[in-house]
Amino acid sequence: MEHGASTAAVLAERLGLTPAAIRRHLDVLVAAGHVEAREQRVYGSRGRGRPAKVFVLTDSGRAQFYSAYDVLAIQALEFVAANEGPDAVTRFARSRVLGTEERYREHTADSSSPVEALADVLTEEGYVASLQPTASGAQLCQHHCPVAHVATRFPQLCDAETEMFSQLLGVHVQRLATIAHGDGICTTHIPRIDRSPAGTTSRPDALHLTNDPHHEEPSI
């Protein structure tokens, strides 16, 4: 980061290690995608043989250092709230989930379960979603939240997401826990979705999971 592109020999001298030891470390960093090798630029006449390889940080490598994207996002939303009012933040939060809605509709075309389709879309977006069956429906669990720090300051992001779940599934869902509020995972209770004709007995949503009749309902 400080010295820019460097050869293995230069790194070895700088760090007081042998070139062989440095290359072992570089091999690991290259395999992880944090560093990449390039041919060294030579200005003027070049001698015989191949140009030496230099190693540089990739975008993934730079991402390992401190970044302030969350701080920037919070500052931007605070500016919006101060100048346009809190409703503007809510409108932004709702517009942010529009892409998820579009991808969800694409997935439901090939899925027999709308809840499974939603979990698949959320996983693709980095939320690591899974389903846990309950006696009255299912719990949608999101084991990661890419915007947790921002959502801690602006819960409108969580509210818009929950509202989207209800609209897409056509049932009233209930958020039980969120990572933004300090819980281990984001958990949303989704009741059974009745896809049967009016007047017939409702059936559980096709989760391809076996409901446990002894499973306790989530405490609210």
**Would you write out the chain's pLDDT as a tens digit for each of its 220 residues?**
888 889 999 999 999 999 899 999 999 999 999 999 988 765 555 556 566 789 998 888 887 887 788 999 999 999 999 999 999 999 999 999 999 999 998 888 777 889 999 999 999 999 999 999 999 999 999 999 999 999 999 999 999 999 999 999 999 999 999 999 999 999 999 998 765 544 333 333 434 333 344 444 444 4
Residue 218 CA, distance from chain mean position: 25
Which residue in 115, 110, 109 sits closest to 132, CA to CA?
115
All domains in the chain, ordered by first residue: 8-62 (no CATH), 69-191 (3.90.1520.10)
The predicted pLDDT at position 43 comes to 52
Rounded CA separation 127/123 (Å):
5
The predicted pLDDT at position 210 comes to 36
Rounded CA separation 210/213 (Å):
9
Neighbours of 152 (CB within 10 A): 18
The predicted pLDDT at position 51 comes to 66
The predicted pLDDT at position 40 comes to 73
The predicted pLDDT at position 216 comes to 47
The predicted pLDDT at position 217 comes to 45
The predicted pLDDT at position 38 comes to 87
Specify the residue for token string 């039980």: 176
Q: What is the pTM of this model?
A: 0.66
Rounded CA separation 146/164 (Å):
17
The predicted pLDDT at position 212 comes to 43
The predicted pLDDT at position 42 comes to 58
Residue 53 CA, distance from chain mean position: 35
